[in-house]
Amino acid sequence: MYPLRRNRRLRTTEAMRSLVRENSISPNDFIVPIFIVEGKSIKEEIASMPNYYRYSLDMLKAEIKELWSLGLKSVLLFVKVPENLKDNAGKEALNPEGLMQRAIKTVKDVCPEMIVMTDVALDPYSKYGHDGIIQNGEIVNDPTNVFLAKMGLSHAQAGADIVAPSDMMDGRILAMRSLLEEEGYYNTGIMSYSAKYASAFYGPFRDALDSAPVDLQNIPKDKKSYQMDPANREEAIKETLMDIDEGADIVMVKPGLCYLDIVRDIREVVDVPVAVYQVSGEYAMLKAAAEKGWLNHDAVMMEQILSIKRAGATMIASYFAKDVVKLLS
Ligand code: PBG
């Protein structure tokens, strides 16, 4: 008698499907990226990221309250730095009264329980748009680490719960962890962008922060000397294990959808939470296709988020977080 197993039995009704479902999405899964600008009463849409905005600090307050009311409990802050404050060494990034430092305090003021994560990186502060300090045309590793550790400390001092270095210098986690410990910030977490690829999917983000590498002679035109080669898989494991050894509490794979094999590989070898960053280009692609009526926005969005979960993500940084959670409720 054939078939002995009829797999469709468990797919007959939604109740049945939900009974056997292996993965699900909840507000607990998300980190919400937020873009912040100087000024007052600003909520400006990012051209290449429809329905995503940059907020001035006064406008940020309402947004934070709304996120919390939706059950979204962690944010990842990025700042757009005025051109006149950019240099090669990130001096403004260490300003205790800088935009990031004020943003951290603003979030904690309106919502003390909100988990505040911060982007620790030079590029928004760099006049060259790079994540490292440039000397003689080279992105120098160790001097950049000294800077990054100080930047992480500055965010911790302003009240950040978790600092998130997104640069891909070697040894920056150890530098940051050591300084945080020395200064008594032993409870500040580090979420390391461990396997961050040199991806073309970051385009809209660089529009949002005006942080693209500049086109100048003797300056590298791309980030391939520090971000990972998309061709590599084994190397992602090496990078991630090294960051854990150096003291990372959470590791990250970035981008998301094209790199779900990496997410699974890493999930299987590490014993710390794995974050996945579904990046700006992934967001922009779906928005554009949906605008043309070529894809069902909500259905594709849910499928993508679920796929990232299924691949092994403990948490997902996504520009869709709010849309997803609204749809869930
Ligand atoms: C830079 C940084 C980038 C992103 C997060 N942090 C861009 C880059 O590396 O050039 C990209 C995020 C996104 O595309 O959504 N430190």
pLDDT of residue 158 exceeding 90: yes
Helix axis angle, 141-158 relative to 172-182, nearest 10°? 40
| Ligand 1 nearest atom to the CA of residue 119, by list position | 6
- Mean pLDDT of the 280-291 span: 98
**pLDDT score for 125:** 97
Nearest CA to 281 out of 200, 221, 211, 209 is that of 200
Percent residues over pLDDT 70 in the chain: 100
- Mean pLDDT of the 40-68 span: 98
**pLDDT score for 71:** 98
**Strands, E, within 197-290: which ranges?**
250-254, 274-278
- Mean pLDDT of the 254-269 span: 98
Decide: 205 in ligand 1 pocket, CB within 6 A. yes
**pLDDT score for 217:** 87
Residue pair 114/67 in contact by the 8 Å Cβ criterion: yes
Confidence of residue 122 (pLDDT cuts 50, 70, 90): very high
| Ligand 1 nearest atom to the CA of residue 213, by list position | 10
**pLDDT score for 268:** 98
**pLDDT score for 298:** 98
**pLDDT score for 2:** 77
- Over the stretch 59-92, which tens digit does the pLDDT of each residue have? 999 999 999 999 999 999 999 999 999 999 999 9
- Over the stretch 160-203, which tens digit does the pLDDT of each residue have? 999 999 999 999 999 999 999 999 999 999 999 999 999 999 99
- Over the stretch 126-147, which tens digit does the pLDDT of each residue have? 999 999 999 999 999 999 999 9
Fill in the DSSP letter of residue 105.
H
**pLDDT score for 144:** 98
Residue 13 phi, psi (nearest 5): -130, 165
Question: Which one of 86, 196, 223, 322 is the catalytic residue?
Answer: 196
In angstroms, the Cα distances linking 303 to 51, 233, 258, 297, 312 are 20, 24, 14, 10, 14
In the numeric block, the tokens 């939604």 are attached to 14
Residue nearest to atom 2 of ligand 1 (CA): 166
- Neighbour-count burial for 123-142, b at 16+ CB within 10 Å, e otherwise: bbbbbbbbbbbbeeeebebe
| Ligand 1 nearest atom to the CA of residue 283, by list position | 15
Residue pair 228/197 in contact by the 8 Å Cβ criterion: yes
Q: Does the annotation count 196 as an active-site position?
A: yes
- Over the stretch 203-216, which tens digit does the pLDDT of each residue have? 999 999 999 999 89
**pLDDT score for 123:** 96
Residue 220 CB neighbour total at 10 angstroms: 17
In this structure, is the dihedral angle defined by the CA atoms of residues 186, 142, 254 and 269, taken in order, positive or negative? negative
Helix/strand/coil for 179: helix
φ/ψ region of 48 (left if φ > 0, alpha if ψ in -120 to 50, else beta) reads: alpha
- Mean pLDDT of the 303-312 span: 98
**pLDDT score for 34:** 98
Helix/strand/coil for 176: helix
**pLDDT score for 18:** 97
Global pTM reads: 0.97
